[in-house]
A and B are shown apart, each in its own frame.
Chain A
């Protein structure tokens, strides 16, 4: 089976840095990706880690450690518009993509 764990809620101050962790138990694990979803919207792709290490995309970075079955999304220079839900998703086998339950990030002034 596939399962991913991430915190349900995180609150951070505008301009700060926040890290959202994700642990997974996935057979046939392929890679870990991250999605952002604003209220009322659809999830949109942020980043993908197929190999261990850090991937940087602007203010967002994502990390993967296969040996620890762990990854995180790092958001820097937080802006109010970053308030959203963030999902980690595990790719398994050739086709499957399973999502965690999401972390609701609230950015406060």
Chain B
């Protein structure tokens, strides 16, 4: 397996634009996590899914953020409208049990 695949690797967008981040988890994994990492706040859990169902989205900062998992092999994190304070590295991770998570390479988002 190629591991967790995220796209794009880098995204630069203007404030107010919609941003969509994509994630393909490892085949067979039943949990998927979206994290945001900044220097100030560290690695924050935004939302996680189990068997494609959102279990806890309490970490999603605002209504501008939304996440979907339409099937076991694909998830999206959308920000609409984007703001400069959303600039961060966004990681997707998948796991079979919550003992070990495998991370994608991340998407570095810059909102100008």
Q: Count the B residues whose beta carbon is within 8 Å of the partner chain — how many?
A: 23
The complex places the Cα of A88 from the Cα of B105 at a distance, in Å, of: 19
Chain B residues, CB < 8 A from A11: none
Selected from A35, A41, A87, A95, the residue in CB contact (under 8 A) with B98 is A95
C-alpha gap A102/B44 in the complex (Å): 11
Q: Is the interface of A mostly helix, strand, loop or mixed?
A: strand
Which of B42, B93, B98, B106 is in CB contact (< 8 Å) with A92? Answer: B98
One of B42, B56, B99 near A96 (C-beta < 8 A): B56
- B101 pairs with A97, CB closer than 8 A: yes
Interface string of A83-109 (1 = CB under 8 A from B): 000010101111111111110000000
Q: CB within 8 Å of B: which residues of A?
A: 30-31, 33, 35, 41-45, 48, 50, 87, 89, 91-102
